[in-house]
Amino acid sequence: MVRILCGFTIWLISSILIPAATAQTKDSQPNDLALKVSQLERKIADQEERIGQLEKAIKAMQENGARAGNIADAILKVEAALRDLKTIPAPGPIPPLTPPWHSASNWNLLTQGMSRAQVVEILGTPTRETSVMDTQTLYYGDSVGAKLTGSVTLEGDRLTKMVPPAF
């Protein structure tokens, strides 16, 4: 009976453990490879489609090459014209028709103590000047003996006296 019990135990162990120990695990590698192959095939198909689109675009550009050449020539001509325009000097300010000292409102802007530079900025360059020691007189007039004349007297570069023209 011990023999039968031992035999039964061996049979039970061998029927349960040995197949479990020798059973192979299912390999997932073929499935992974199949997935990768399908992904690569999809990428190749996408790239072939893009290449086809690019080839169509190049062909269309080659057919329109004559028009593009004309456009490029026009652009070059415009750029050359712009370069020529840049070499033309810009016009200067238009001189006033009458000198600034001809305006009574400019004479009204003068005040005692102004500097020579301020006076010249308002009335313009004098037609004649005289200097005696530290006193300068700036004369404004159309010509010698003209009816419309005025003068400004400066002492130490400061306005001390003015005689506006009789407007």
Q: Where is 135: in which H helix or E strand?
A: strand 135-141
The model's pTM: 0.43
Integer angstrom CA distances of residue 99 from 18, 39, 62, 160, 162: 123, 87, 66, 23, 18
Report the pLDDT value the prediction gives residue 121, as an integer from 0 to 100: 93
The two structure tokens encoding residue 64: 């329109």
Q: What is the mean pLDDT of each run of 10 residues along the chain (167 residues)?
A: 61 62 58 82 88 80 67 80 72 74 91 95 93 93 76 94 89
Read off the DSSP letter of residue 67: H
Q: Is it true that domain 101-163 has CATH number 3.30.1450.10?
A: yes
d(C-alpha 111, C-alpha 165), whole Å: 16
